[in-house]
Amino acid sequence: MSATVAVAQPAGGTLVAIAVGMVFVGMAIGAAELVPHRSVSIRRSAFSATVDARVGWLILGAVAVTCGLVAVGLIVGDFPISAGDALRTALWERQGEFDFIVNSLRFPRVTVAVLAGMALAASGAVFQALISNPLVSPDIIGINNGAAVFAVSILAAGGDVSLLPVAAFGGAIGTAFLIYLLAWKQGVSGSRLVLVGIGINSALAAVIVFVTVRFPIERVVAAARWQAGTLFGASWSDARILAIGLATLLPGCFFLTRRLRLLQLGDDVAAAMGVRVERDRLLLIVCASGLAALAVSVVGPLAFVALLVPHLARLIAGNLTGGVLVFTALLGGIFLLASDLIAQRLFAPTVLPAGVVTAALGGPYFLLLLARHNRG
Amino acid sequence: MGKQPIEPALAVQNLRLSYGGPTIINDLTTVVPAGEITAVVGANGCGKSTLLRAMARLMKPVEGAVLLDGQNIHSLATKQVAKRLGLMPQAPTAPDGVLVGDLVRRGRYPHQRLFDQWSIADQAAVALALELTRMREFVDRPVDELSGGQRQRAWIAMALAQDTPLMLLDEPTTYLDMAHQAEVLDLLTALNANDGRTIVMVLHDLNQACRYAKHIVALAEGKIVAAGAPGEVMKPDLIEQVFGIGVHVFEDPVTATPMCVPMRY
C-alpha cells in the first residue's frame, strides 16, 4: 500500500473477513435455536441448581469464539507477524523479537476489549431487567455522560491525563447516586429512575458541549476522540483494573440475579416472595453502575454495547437467569473485540475509534437480526 | 354449624394505614379465620387493596399491627413471612417472553438458598403447582401469549409453588369473563378444601363473594361495616352503607347462598 494515499480505502481482505464473520455468527445463532431449552438439575449434597442446556452450550461456544478472536487480535496488525510467532510470543515465549508488539500492544488491547465489553453488556442487562424497559442502558440514563464530563474537562483543559480513569469512574458513580437520590420518593420506581436519568443525561450533555466550545480546538479533538470510545493505547494496567472490577461486580450481579428475576415481576410480588426490594434494587444499581463506570473509565463511552448486546443475548438465550447474564457478558466481550478488530483493520493503516464501529455496524446488524428473528 | 371460637390465621389490630397523605384505613380490627376462604368486599377506593397489602407486610401501619400466627408481622424476617404467606397482586405482569415454567419456578425463592436453588422439594412443589392449576401443558409457553384465564392460573401456580398455608389474592377475577372467573374461583375453593389452605381475596362482586367465601369483611371508607358469614353481611341496610345503593336480597337458586340485585336501574 502506498504511503501517499490521501483517502483511506477499505481493505479488501478485512471486508471479506467481516462478511464471513457475520455469516458465521448468523449460522451460530441459528444452530443455537436448534438446541432446546432443557432444564438439567444438578444436586450434590447441600448444593443444587438448574442449568438450561442451551445456555450451557451457548456459554461454551462464546468462550471458544472469544479465544478464537483473541488469537486473531494477536496475529493481525500493521506489523506482519506470522500466526505461529504471534501465539508463541504471547503464550509461552514471553520475550523475543515480537515481545513488544504482541505483549505490550496487541495482547493488552484485546484483553481490555473483551473485559470492557463484558462489563458494558452485563451492566446493560441488569439495568434493562431492573427497570423493565428494553430501551434503557447506562448511556441513556446519564452514567456514561457523568464519566464524560470529567474526562472531557481534563482533556480539554489540558489536565493530568493519568487522572482520567479515576475522574471518569468517579463521575459515573457520582451520577448514578445522584439519579438514585433524585428519583427517591418512598422507594425508587423504574419509570421515575429513567425519567430522572434522561433529565440528568441531557444536562450533562449540555455541560460537555459547553466545555468543548470553551477550550482550544486542538485539545477538544482529543476529548471528542475519547468520547467516541477507543481502545487505542490500552495497557496491562487498564486490563488489571477491569479484571479486578469484573471479578467483584460480575459475581455480585450473578448472585443478585435470582432476586432481580423477582423484581422483574413487580415490587409487590418481589416483596411478597421475601425480597428486600429497596435494598436489593440499590445493590443492583451499584453493581451495574460500577460495571459501566469501570468500562467507560478505561475505553470511553462506547455506544450501543450496553444497549444492544443484552437484546441479542435475550434473542438467542432467553430470559434473564444467572447463566444468561454470563452469556450476555461474554457476548459483549466478543462484540467489542470484533468491533475493535474491524476498526483497526477496515481502513488500515488508518485506525477508527472502536466506538464508531460499534455504532455504525452494531445498529444495522442488530436490526437485521431482529428482522430475521421476528419473521422466523 | 355451631359457633366455634375462630382460630385466627391473621389478626388485624387497630390498624391505621396511609400512603403519607390521607388516612386510608382507620382503626380497623378484624381476624382472618384459619382454614377458610375470606372475601374482602367494598366500593372502589374503600381501601380493600391497601388492607390486603398491609396484611402481606407490603406496607407499614401508621398505628396498630398485623399479627401472623400471633406475632407482629413486621417483627418477622421478610423471608420467614414469605414462607407462610403468599400474595397475588391485582393484574400482575411478567416481562415479555417469560415462560410459564420459569415464572412458576421463581415462586420457590423463599425456600431456596444461594447454593441450594433446585432441591427435590422445589421440583416437587413446582410440579404440583402446575398440576393443580392444569398448567403442565403450558410450561414452555410465554406468559404474555396466554389467554386471560390461563395467565391468571399461571400466576396462581407461582403462588402455589411458594407453598404457603395462607394465600392473599387481590381481585383474582378482574378482566376475566364469566366462565374464567368461575374457573379461577373453583380452583381456589379446591385448594381450600383439599389442604385447608387459608385464602383471603379481594372481590368486587358481592354475589361471588357470598358463593365462594365462608367469611366476608365489608369495608366502607376505610372502616369495617360488617364482618361474618354471608348471611350476616348480606343485608339491604348494610349493603346500602357499603355500596351506597339499595338492593333486593334473595336466595341464590344454585348455591342457596344469599345474593342481591340493585333496586335502581
Reported as a single tens digit per residue, the pLDDT across B60-116 is 999 999 999 889 999 999 989 999 999 999 889 898 889 999 999 999 999 988 888
Q: Percent of chain A scored above 90 by pLDDT?
A: 40
How confident is residue B5, by pLDDT bands cut at 50, 70 and 90?
low
The pLDDT, as a whole number, for residue A371 is 76
Residue A350: all three cell numbers together: 488508518
Confidence (pLDDT) at A203: 95
B227 pLDDT more than 60: yes
Residue A346 has pLDDT above 50, yes or no: yes
Mutate to test the interface with A, among B118, B119, B120, B200 (most CBs of A within 10 A): B118
Which residue of B94, B109, B123 is in closest CB contact with A258? Answer: B109
Using the predicted structure, report yes or no on whether residue B1 has a pLDDT greater than 50. Answer: no
**CB proximity B179 to A under 8 Å:** no
Long-range contacts (CB closer than 8 Å, 24 or more residues apart) made by A311-317: A311/A134, A311/A366, A311/A370, A312/A366, A312/A369, A313/A121, A313/A125, A314/B97, A315/A29, A315/A369, A315/A370, A315/A373, A316/A29, A316/A32, A316/A33, A316/A58, A317/A32, A317/A52, A317/A54, A317/A55, A317/A58
> Average model confidence (pLDDT) for chain B?
90
**Which of A122-126, A136-140, B149-153 is the most confident on average?**
A122-126
Tell whether the model's pLDDT for residue B177 goes beyond 90: no
The CATH fold assigned to B8-92+165-262 is: Rossmann fold (3.40.50)
pTM (2 decimals)? 0.90
Q: What CATH number did the domain enclosing A228 receive?
A: 1.10.3470.10
Please determine, for residue B29, whether its predicted confidence score (pLDDT) is greater than 60. Answer: yes
Name the residue of chain B whose CA is nearest to A131's CA: B95
> Which pLDDT tens digit goes with each residue over B158-172?
999 999 999 999 999
Chain B neighbors of A258, CB-CB under 8 A = 109, 112, 117
- pLDDT band at B38; cut points 50, 70, 90: very high
User: pLDDT category, A373, cuts 50, 70, 90?
Assistant: low
In this structure, is residue A30 part of a structural domain?
A: no
**Domain definitions of chain B by residue range:** 8-92+165-262
**Does residue A237 belong to any structural domain of this protein?**
yes
Instruction: Return the residue matching grid coordinates 464471513.
Output: A20
Q: What is the mean pLDDT of residues B231-256?
A: 92
Residue pair A155/A222 in contact (Cβ under 8 Å)? The answer is yes
Judge whether A42 is closer than 8 Å to chain B, CB to CB: yes
CA distance A251 to chain B (A): 12
pLDDT in tens, A148-167: 898 888 888 887 878 888 88
Q: Are the beta carbons of A315 and A369 closer than 8 angstroms?
A: yes
Count of structural domains within chain A: 1
User: Considering only residues 41 to 80 of chain B, which have any Cβ-Cβ distance to chain A shorter than 8 Å?
Assistant: 53, 56-58, 78-80
> Which residue segment(s) compose the domain that A168 sits in?
52-375
Judge whether B106 is closer than 8 Å to chain A, CB to CB: yes
The secondary structure of A103-120 as a DSSP string is IIIIHHHHHHHHHHHHHH
